[in-house]
Amino acid sequence: MADTRAHGSTAVATGGDTATAPALLQIEDLTSSYGAVRALDGVSLTADAGRITAVLGANGAGKTTLLRTVSGLVRASSGRVTLAGEDITTASVESMVGRGMAHVPEGRGVISELTVHENLRVGALFRGKVEKSEYDRIYDLFPRIAERRDQPAHVLSGGERQMLVIGRALLAQPRILLLDEPSLGLAPRIVAQIFGLLRRLVDSEGLSVLLVEQNARSALSVADVGVVLNLGRVVVTDSARTLMADEDLRHAYLGF
């Protein structure tokens, strides 16, 4: 883990191209279907250590299916997924978090019947005993949920829910965080706050993020690399800056 962090920060600091950075998560020619509908059609991409990789595209482009296939919720019909060199294509969903991959699903995934603190504790269950200081650190990152720690999670606002699930995922001490539409339904100010925090965690702690977003403008403003999906295929992969500058591409696929 320490290695990855070191590599990650070096890569960011030097701003080197993607080829030299170690591929933390590698997705090769991934195909999967929901019933008769082929949702992913040979998708290949890499998420490098210490980077934010944004997967963009319209509704139905296959973004959510991509994350669900990577974490095993949907079985891949072909292709390969490797995490730090280890093949995890057929690994169980429950084992992913132990391998260093935390997936925050679409729609926040707060367990509303549990309290805020219990929700956090679930995130650390697989690790056994966890120091109190680790919870304190999450509450320091998100003071708004700290105020509500003993309340049932259903009282939280949309932004607080997003903070809770990201905090819960961080308690798993992942090497890579998979985030599915974290900006959905949130006020722009809250989105900026959450994305800003992600950037800080990536830059200062070597976290890596695979971010799926329909809100391409916000996502590209925080990401290092962008991957544009359309109808289950990768249209283009490039640095976020280049994608941002490509007006035709933005109009055609990103809606801004």
Contacts to other proteins by CB under 8 A: 71, 73, 93-98, 102-105, 109, 111-114, 118, 121-123, 125-126, 152, 154-155, 168, 172
**CB of residue 118 vs other proteins: minimum separation in angstroms?**
6
Measured CA to CA in angstroms, residue 83 lies from 46, 102, 246 at distances of: 10, 12, 31
Burial of 251 (0-12, 13-18, 19+ CB in 10 A): exposed
- Residue closer to other proteins by CB (options 161, 250) is 161
Tell me which amino acid residue 180 is: D
Q: Which of 19, 18, 37, 41 is nearest to 29 (CA)?
A: 41
**CB of residue 121 vs other proteins: minimum separation in angstroms?**
6
Q: Which of 170, 176, 168 is nearest to 145 (CA)?
A: 168
**CB of residue 158 vs other proteins: minimum separation in angstroms?**
11
- Residue closer to other proteins by CB (options 29, 86) is 86
12: left (phi > 0), else alpha (psi -120 to 50), else beta?
alpha
- Residue closer to other proteins by CB (options 178, 254) is 178
**CB of residue 75 vs other proteins: minimum separation in angstroms?**
14
- Residue closer to other proteins by CB (options 148, 199) is 148
